[in-house]
Structure 1
Amino acid sequence: MFEVTAKTAFLFILPQYNVSVPTADGEMVHYHYGPKDLVTVLFYIFITIILHAVVQEYILDKISKRLHLSKVKHSKFNESGQLVVFHLSSVIWCFYVVVTEGYLTNPRSLWEDYPHVHLPFQVKFFYLCQLAYWLHALPELYFQKVRKEEIPRQLQYICLYLVHIAGAYLLNLSRLGLVLLLLQYSAEFLFHTARLCYFADENNEKLFNAWAAAFGVTRLFILTLAVLAIGFGLARVENQAFDPEKGNFNTLLCRLCMLLLVCAAQAWLMWRFIHSQLRHWREHWSEQSAKRRVPTAPRLAARLIKRESGYHENGVVKAENGTSTRTKKLKSP
């Protein structure tokens, strides 16, 4: 709004390091990364915190009051509710970027012309917003008053997302990172949607079966694309030299480290998935076997109790007319 502060404001709001790249139709503005991106990410961290609070107050709190959830389920409901909104918006945005940039129609573009130093505006802005969201999740652990038992689990997947997204952005593998994020976010959106439906109705577990199938397929596709692009595609690129100034990290050691990181993360996620599924099945079968067992009450021997007519008074059975029922002994004359 003011010319004096406009240059400083643009540093926070808009992506920096724009470069004019000549094309057949003229010139296009592209971007590359640098230290000023930290300032832009910091600004969008505050924007994300505000949006997080709006979704929590005006949507999730109103729904959770109607469901009357316990403290544990209430915390998980808030977590899944926030992630459903984020994953849905990220899937739509990521799918739009991948389609408009032609990464799906031409899979070779994932590794051809590496390093991909110059990024379109929407690609760079997408990565900055992704980094801002997962960095904002760290202070949200305090703002949401997450239980101490849940903090290690949430820190694990927050750090995993930050490492993979920042790695794809800094190592100039933004095209491959977009496709892998599209697959990962689609599976995560299905999981958190299934969990919200379960909190609304505990008998509704059909979406968990769909997510279980999608989870395994997603792991397979991510591993296949990573091996295809990094292990085979980058290995055939002519320019294979370690040059950080030009953004080239295409060496054998770097490729092995990238593949090891991706494979280790996917194997860890698959192990946790199998472990949780086995635990769920054991609990399900134990409940089913408990229902089939019919509790047998001990049979007591039936005792015939002969009740005498009359009523009791001071431990002595009286007749209805008030006299004792015992036979009186006749005194001998």
Structure 2
Amino acid sequence: MAFRRRTKSYPLFSQEFVIHNHADIGFCLVLCVLIGLMFEVTAKTAFLFILPQYNVSVPAADSETVHYHYGPKDLLAILFYVFITIILHAVVQEYILDKISKRLHLSKVKHSKFNESGQLVIFHLSSVVWCFYVVVTEGYLTNPRSLWEDYPHVYLPFQVKFFYLCQLAYWLHALPELYFQKVRKEEIPRQLQYICLYLVHIAGAYLLNLSRLGLLLLLLQYGTEFLFHMARLFSFADENNEKLFNAWAAVFGVTRLFILTLAVLAIGFGLARVENQAFDPEKGNFNTLLCAYWNEQSAKRRVPAAPRLPARLVKRESGYHENGVVKAENGTSPRTKKLKSP
């Protein structure tokens, strides 16, 4: 299977070989895991890479439902889906973006931005649809109180956990793609910044059991980012077309207001008023503030500060010292004797 037509062969496992064949290498690794499912000896190990782990049967009203929580084995599933994302990235690049960019005749700088926005448009659109489906089916959108009620939300439905695993896999795959796509050095710090910000926020919501709040925030954020990158793609075809940028600017302000309101409502009012407020990592409870004993310290009786005594005057033979200056008894500085020149 070849994702690119190559007119030149490179030495095996050289730098250029890995760059031009990274999708094929990832496909071979994924294929090895899938073949492992066919044999009983390796099936249990292969399932660790494919299916979410740590399933727990939670009793419901009529029957039992299967939920999941996180653990170290999630890293194996994330690694597996990183390789799948690399393959999909190469397919989109080869069969969609490269063909469009050839017709536009873009410069090197615009070509790099076009590939970046093209990949992110497809990712944000699919993530918005998927996230909206999860939020609606789980009832988080119609019942905002579910964002903080019964916290910590240790047990996750299958589609919620799988969504977070795929999100982490995508943003982790973006790190080696900077090398595979030969991104310009000037662009690397900017792209590293937003990749790391997404990783920190998504992993934080997943590990701190704030998955419900994280889903709604990602839905708003991805919708805004989709409009921005779509507007940038249209600007490459027509530089005078600024309608989508104007629409993005309006949506951006409204979205930021919703994100701020939702975060304050869920964290500042919701989690701050629940009864279970303690730092207990074993139970997955992180509902605490850095200043945990602020109310106790403010209620304590403060001891008034002792008044500062005036500086003590030390008498000398010809006066006293004050602030390092010798003064006479009447408060004037003594005159120094002039030395006669020889």
TM, length-normalised to structure 2? 0.73
1:157 and 1:73 map into 2 onto residues whose CA distance is 19
2:250 and 2:139 map into 1 onto residues whose CA distance is 28
Query: Does the CA contact (< 8 Å) of 1:111 and 1:233 recur in 2?
Result: yes
Residues 65 and 306 (structure 1 numbering): CA distance in 2 closer, same or farther, change over 3 Å?
farther
1:115 and 1:227 map into 2 onto residues whose CA distance is 18
Deviations 1:65-85, CA, capped at 9 Å, x for gaps: 000000000000000000000
Residues 96 and 309 (structure 1 numbering): CA distance in 2 closer, same or farther, change over 3 Å?
same
Q: Does 1:286 align with 2:314?
A: no
1:24 and 1:197 map into 2 onto residues whose CA distance is 51
* More helix, by proportion: 1
Query: Does the CA contact (< 8 Å) of 1:98 and 1:178 recur in 2?
Result: yes
1:221 and 1:57 map into 2 onto residues whose CA distance is 37
Deviations 1:76-103, CA, capped at 9 Å, x for gaps: 0000000000000000000000000000
Shift of 1:307: 110
Shift of 1:298: 82
Residues 152 and 25 (structure 1 numbering): CA distance in 2 closer, same or farther, change over 3 Å?
same
Shift of 1:25: 1.7
Deviations 1:47-71, CA, capped at 9 Å, x for gaps: 0000000000000000000000000
2:285 and 2:314 map into 1 onto residues whose CA distance is 98
1:49 and 1:332 map into 2 onto residues whose CA distance is 92
1:326 and 1:185 map into 2 onto residues whose CA distance is 81
Query: Does the CA contact (< 8 Å) of 1:226 and 1:262 recur in 2?
Result: no
Shift of 1:326: 107
Deviations 1:142-170, CA, capped at 9 Å, x for gaps: 01110000000001100110010000000
1:175 and 1:2 map into 2 onto residues whose CA distance is 38
2:309 and 2:150 map into 1 onto residues whose CA distance is 87
2:53 and 2:250 map into 1 onto residues whose CA distance is 41
Shift of 1:202: 1.3
Residues 236 and 62 (structure 1 numbering): CA distance in 2 closer, same or farther, change over 3 Å?
same
1:143 and 1:243 map into 2 onto residues whose CA distance is 42
Question: 126-135 or 306-315, which moves further after superposition?
Answer: 306-315
Q: Does 1:205 align with 2:242?
A: yes
Shift of 1:248: 0.2
Q: 2:183 maps to which residue?
A: 146
Query: Does the CA contact (< 8 Å) of 1:223 and 1:262 recur in 2?
Result: no
Shift of 1:120: 0.1
Query: Does the CA contact (< 8 Å) of 1:29 and 1:120 recur in 2?
Result: yes
Query: Does the CA contact (< 8 Å) of 1:183 and 1:218 recur in 2?
Result: yes
Residues 305 and 250 (structure 1 numbering): CA distance in 2 closer, same or farther, change over 3 Å?
closer
Shift of 1:118: 0.2
Query: Does the CA contact (< 8 Å) of 2:313 and 2:321 recur in 1?
Result: no
2:260 and 2:240 map into 1 onto residues whose CA distance is 34
Q: Does 1:317 align with 2:326?
A: yes
Residues 302 and 218 (structure 1 numbering): CA distance in 2 closer, same or farther, change over 3 Å?
closer
2:72 and 2:327 map into 1 onto residues whose CA distance is 105
Query: Does the CA contact (< 8 Å) of 1:60 and 1:78 recur in 2?
Result: yes
Q: 1:268 maps to which residue?
A: none
Shift of 1:317: 106
Shift of 1:303: 97
RMSD between superposed Cα atoms in Å? 20.1
Can you give the 5+ residue segments of structure 1 that lack an aligned partner in the other structure? Answer: 252-260, 264-283
Shift of 1:226: 0.6
Equivalent residue in structure 2 for 1:27, among 64, 78, 84 = 64
- Greater Cα radius of gyration, structure 1 or 2: 1
2:150 and 2:102 map into 1 onto residues whose CA distance is 53
Residues 66 and 316 (structure 1 numbering): CA distance in 2 closer, same or farther, change over 3 Å?
farther
Shift of 1:29: 0.3
Which contiguous aligned blocks of 4+ residues in structure 1 show a shift greater than 3 angstroms? 284-333
Q: 2:338 maps to which residue?
A: 329
Secondary structure of 2:197's partner? Answer: helix
Question: 51-60 or 321-330, which moves further after superposition?
Answer: 321-330
Query: Does the CA contact (< 8 Å) of 1:311 and 1:317 recur in 2?
Result: yes
Equivalent residue in structure 1 for 2:207, among 160, 166, 170 = 170
Question: 285-294 or 66-75, which moves further after superposition?
Answer: 285-294
Secondary structure of 2:78's partner? Answer: helix
2:310 and 2:278 map into 1 onto residues whose CA distance is 92
Residues 304 and 118 (structure 1 numbering): CA distance in 2 closer, same or farther, change over 3 Å?
closer
Secondary structure of 2:315's partner? Answer: coil
Q: Does 1:243 align with 2:252?
A: no
Can you give the 5+ residue segments of structure 2 that lack an aligned partner in the other structure? Answer: 1-37
Shift of 1:204: 1.1
Query: Does the CA contact (< 8 Å) of 2:148 and 2:266 recur in 1?
Result: yes
Query: Does the CA contact (< 8 Å) of 1:134 and 1:158 recur in 2?
Result: yes
Shift of 1:218: 1.1
Number of paired residues? 304
2:150 and 2:171 map into 1 onto residues whose CA distance is 29
% identity of equivalent residues = 92
2:125 and 2:161 map into 1 onto residues whose CA distance is 19
Question: 321-330 or 146-155, which moves further after superposition?
Answer: 321-330
Query: Does the CA contact (< 8 Å) of 1:81 and 1:192 recur in 2?
Result: yes
Question: 309-318 or 7-16, which moves further after superposition?
Answer: 309-318
2:272 and 2:330 map into 1 onto residues whose CA distance is 113
Query: Does the CA contact (< 8 Å) of 2:314 and 2:321 recur in 1?
Result: no
1:145 and 1:136 map into 2 onto residues whose CA distance is 14
Residues 312 and 183 (structure 1 numbering): CA distance in 2 closer, same or farther, change over 3 Å?
closer
Residues 192 and 304 (structure 1 numbering): CA distance in 2 closer, same or farther, change over 3 Å?
farther
Secondary structure of 1:93's partner? Answer: helix
